[in-house]
Chain A
Amino acid sequence: MSAVFVEAPKRLVDVTIDGATVRVPEGSTLLDACRQQGIDTPTLCFLENLTPVNVCRVCVVEVEGSRTLVPSCSRKVEPGMAVHTDSDRVRTSRRMVLEFLASTVDVSLAGPDVGRWMAEYGADPARYGDPAPPHQAGQRDAARPGEHPVPDGSAAATVAQPVKYDNDSYVRDYSRCILCYKCVEACGPDAQNTFAIAVAGRGFDARISTEFDVTLPDSACVYCGNCIGVCPTGALMFASEYRMRRDGTWDDDGQTVTTTVCPYCGVGCNLELHVQDNQIVKVTSPLDHDVTSGHLCVKGRFGFEFVQRRADAG
C-alpha cells in the first residue's frame, strides 16, 4: 500500500479573461489565472511564498461589475467572472502606481521587470517636478502620525535618506523601500516569526522600523536574511553584496547558481549558492522547495565561510 497523502480534488472554475475562457482550480487567484493564460501581469508586493498583502496595486485588473479595480494577486476567482487586464483603466492605474513609486523611491535595483513595465505603461516619474532634498538621518523615523510640514509643491517628496549600516551582516537602504511589506511578512508570520521589524508611522511617513528605530543589533533580529531574500528593490542587502556593489566588483553576469543542501543540521534545506570567481557571494533558497519555501536560518544563509577560509582552520 502507499502512504502518499492524497488531497481532496479541487473543483474547476471558469472565468473570462480578455474575452478568453480560462479554467482554473477553485481557490486560484486572478493572477494565477492570468499567468495560466500567459498574460504578463506586473507584481511588486506579491511573492509565491508569502501571503498576498495586495498593497502595491500594480497588479490590478478590471472585473466587470466591480466599482473599483481589484488586485489580481489576492482576489480569488469566482465562476463567471469577466476580467479585463488591458483596459484604459487598468493601464492608467498601473502606469500611475509605477510612476508614483519611481518618483518617490530609488528603483534602480528593482530588477529588469520594473524598467520594462515602466516603459510598457509609459510611466514618467519626472513630471512631479524636481525631487525634494533627501531627509536627514532619523528624520523620517521621527515623523509623528497625523502631522507633516505643508509642502508648497515646488519639489516632489521622496523617501530619500541615508543608508542604515549598523552591523556587518545587513545594510538597510530605505531610499529604495517601496513599502511592499514583504520583509515584515518574512520576518513575521509568514516565515521567521521573529518580528524584529514592523511598519511604523503612517501615510507617506510609514516606514519599516524596529521598535523606536533601535539598531538591528539592539533589535530582535536573528540575521536569517529572509527579509533580504524577499526584498524586491535592493533596500535590504547583505553587507557583502553592498560592499561589492559599492566597490564595483559585483558581477551578476559572472555568477553561477548551484543548488545543494545546507551543511549544518539535519533538516535538509536546499541552498542556492551564488558563486563569483570561485567564491560564494550570496546564498538563497528556492521558493518552491517545500522544506524551506525559500527561507533559511542564519547558518544556512551566512555559514558558508568555512569552505573559503580553510587556511586559518583549526
Chain B
Amino acid sequence: MFGAGGGTCSYREAEDADLIVMWGSNAREAHPIFFHHVLKAVRKGARMYAVDPRRTTSAQWADAWLGINVGSDISLANAIGREIIHAGLANTDFIARATSGFEAYAASVEPYTLEVAERDTGVPADLIRQLAHDYARAGRAQICWTLGITEHHNASDNVFALINLALLTGHVGRYGSGLVPLRGQNNVQGGGDMGALPNKLPGFQDVETDTDARARFEAVYGEPLPARRGWHLSQMFEAMERGELTACYIIGENPVRSEADTGRTKELLSGLEHLVVQDIFLTDTAAIADVVLPATATWCETEGTVTSSERRVQRVRKALDPPGGARDDIEIIGELARRLGANWGPVTAEQAWDELRSLSPMHGGMSYARLEALGGLQWPCYDEEHPGELFLHARLWEADPARRGAPAPFTPVSQEPPLDELSAEFPLRLTTGRRLDSFNTGVQSGKYATPIRRPETLNLSPEDAAELGVAESEVVRISSRRGSIEAPVHVDSTLRRGLAFMTLHFPEQVATNILTLDAWDPKSGTAEFKATAIRVDRIADIPAGGAGDEHAKVGA
C-alpha cells in the first residue's frame, strides 16, 4: 500500500477499533488467532460488518452481514464511496492534505448508486447505506480482507477499491484505523519482504527504478544485478507455454495441487527441460521433478525468521533433528552456489540475516539479539534504537508537507463480473475457501487427525439440493467448463440458492482445482479461485459417455 506491501495495522489495534469490516475474510477459520483480537473488540462494543457471499462463521459474529454476489466487491465498494461523498461524510481535510486523484475517483464512483450496487450485489440498498455511514462516522475503523478479495481475476482492483474507502474517510495512518490484509501462510509476508517478488529487491526496493539500492546490492554481492523485473507465477506458466521458460527450481511450493486448472499446470511442468523441487515432502510436484532436494522444516528444524501479517519479524528455531538426508535450505543453496562456482563457505541463518539487514533499511534495526529480547519487531525498523512501527502511514497526518511526503493516490476502478460466466449449462456459482482444521492443499494439515475433520464435500444450499433432488452425502458429478469431478454433497444453510462451496484441502480425494479457472490478475498474478461456473448432476442421471463426460479432462 502506497509503497511497501504490508498491512497498516497491528493486531492489538483491532481490539481498540470502533468498527471492523471483515471483507472477503473468514478469519474465524482461516486466521483464528487474529479473530481473537477482533472478538476482543466486539466484546468491548465495537461494531462489525461482514462482506462475504457466504454467511461464514466470521460473518455470524457481525452486527450485519452483506451477502454479496461473488465478484461484486467493486460495485459495493464504489457505492459505499459514492454514498459517503453524497452524504457529506468524506474526510475532506484529509483528502485535500494527504491524497491525490480525488476528483477522478469521485467521478468514477458516480454511476454506482445504491440501486446499482443492490442489483450487482444482491444486498439491500439500505444495508449498504448503513455500512457506508457507519464506516465513515466511526472513530477508528478497519477493513480486513483475505483471499475473498485477492483470489479474483481483478484482485488488485478489488484492493484499490478498499484502499480508496480508507483514503476517503481518513481511516489509515492513525492508531486503530487502517487496512489489514491477512496473509495466508506463515511467511508470505516475509517472502515479499525478502524480495521474492518479480520487481522488488529485499525491503521492497524496486529493482528497475531504485538504482541506488541496486548499486548497494551489487557492491555487496560483487556481481551486477539485472535491472529488469522478472515474471510472476502466472507469467511463468505462460512463458512455459511459449517455450521461453524451460527450467524451474521450486522451493516449498506444490503448484500441481495449488494452482488453478490442475491439468494444464501439470502438463506444463512435465514439459520442462529441467525441474528441481526442494521440499520437505515428496509432493505431487516433486514426483514429476528431475531432481528432488529433501529440505528441513523451516519452522522447527532450522533457525531463521518469518514475518507475520502485522509486519512482525519473529524467530523460528530448531526444536527437532531433521530426518536423515534432509538439509537446511541455506545449506542447500550454499552448496548449489558452491557447485556453480561461488564458494560462500558455511553460512548461518544469523549471518544471512545480518547481510539482509545491511541492505534492507526497513530491517536494519532487527538484530537477532533484539528479536530475541523483544519477541519480534515490526518493520520498518531502521536502526537498533528504533522500536519498530505499530502502524504505517502516520506521515499522511503530518502538518508539515515535507514530513507528509508524497500524497496517497486514489485509484479509480470499475466493476467487472467474474470471467467464468453463469449460463444455462453452468448455472451455479462455485466459490472456494478454507476450513478451520485444514490448510491449503492439506500437505501439512492432512497429517494430523482431529474430530472436526470432515472429508471434502460439495456444499449446496438447501434450496439447490432440494431442486436437484440430492441428499446429504450423496455423491454427485460437478462440472465446469474445464473438467468434472465427483464429490459427496453437504447441505449447508449458510449458502443461498445458486451458490456452492468447496475447499482445496483434499486434492487426493477431490481435485477441486480441476474445475477452477486459471485466469489471473495482470497486476498481482493471482488466479480466480473464487468464482467458477459449475453444474451439478446426479450420478444416476448421467448416461454413460453422456453430458457430464464431454468436459472431463482430468489429468491422469
Contact = CB atoms under 8 A, between A and B. Distances in A.
Are chains A and B touching directly in their complex (CB below 8 angstroms)? yes
A167 interface: yes
28 contacts: A258-B318, A262-B186, A262-B299, A263-B299, A265-B182, A266-B31, A266-B188, A267-B11, A268-B309, A268-B310, A269-B33, A275-B320, A278-B320, A280-B320, A291-B310, A292-B33, A297-B32, A298-B436, A299-B438, A299-B439, A299-B445, A303-B439, A303-B444, A303-B447, A306-B281, A306-B444, A306-B445, A313-B443
Contact of A3 (B33, B316, B392, B437): B392
Contacts of B310: 268, 291
Interface stretch (B108-116, B198-206, B300-308): B300-308
Contact of B309 (A217, A264, A267): A267
B303 to A, nearest CB: 9
A268 B319 contact: no
Contact of A280 (B300, B309, B446): B300
A290 B12 contact: yes
Interface stretch (B91-99, B351-359, B448-456, B464-472): B448-456
A307 B308 contact: no
Contact of B387 (A2, A222, A273, A296): A2
Contact of A306 (B323, B403, B447): B447
B437 A298 contact: yes
A260 B182 contact: no
A212 interface: no
A35 interface: no
A286 B528 CA distance: 38
A29 to B, nearest CB: 20
B184 interface: yes
Interface stretch (A8-16, A155-163, A172-180, A189-197): A189-197
B312 interface: yes
A50 to B, nearest CB: 13
Name the residue in A268, A269, A313 with the highest tally of chain B Cβ atoms < 10 Å from its Cβ.
A268
A263 B299 CA distance: 6
A253 interface: no
Nearest to A289: B375
Interface residues of A, number: 59
Contacts of A275: 319-320
A4 B387 contact: yes
Contact of B317 (A1, A259, A290, A299): A259
Interface string A101-121: 000000000000000000000
B33 A295 contact: yes
Interface of A: 1-5, 167-169, 189, 191-193, 216-217, 221-224, 256, 258-270, 273, 275, 278-280, 289-293, 295-300, 302-307, 309-310, 312-314
Contacts of A313: 280-283, 443, 447
A276 to B, nearest CB: 11
A168 B449 CA distance: 8
B450 A169 contact: yes
B321 interface: yes
A5 B439 CA distance: 34
B312 A265 contact: no
Name the residue in B184, B187, B280, B316 with the highest tally of chain A Cβ atoms < 10 Å from its Cβ.
B316
A280 B319 contact: yes
A3 B448 contact: no
Given A1-B394, A273-B300, A309 B33 contact: no
Given A303-B439, A304-B300, A263 B186 contact: yes
Contacts of B300: 258, 260, 263, 273, 280, 304, 307
Nearest to A293: B36
Interface string B147-169: 00000000000000000000000
A3 B394 contact: yes
B186 A217 contact: no
B213 to A, nearest CB: 23
B279 to A, nearest CB: 9
Contacts of B321: 278
A66 to B, nearest CB: 30
Contacts of A297: 32-33, 436
Contact of A314 (B398, B448, B450, B508): B508
A293 B446 CA distance: 27
B297 A302 contact: no
Given A266-B31, A268-B306, 18 more contacts: A217-B451, A223-B452, A258-B319, A260-B316, A264-B445, A265-B186, A267-B31, A268-B186, A268-B376, A269-B33, A278-B321, A290-B12, A299-B437, A305-B447, A306-B281, A306-B444, A313-B280, A313-B283
Interface in B402-441: 403, 436-439
Nearest to A297: B32
B315 interface: yes
B395 interface: yes
A282 to B, nearest CB: 12
Contacts of B316: 260-261
Name the residue in A168, A264, A270 with the highest tally of chain B Cβ atoms < 10 Å from its Cβ.
A264
A273 B321 CA distance: 13
A222 B306 contact: no
Contacts of B36: 191-193, 292-293, 295
Contacts of B447: 303, 305-306, 309, 312-313
B444 A264 contact: yes
Contacts of A270: 314, 375
B389 A4 contact: yes
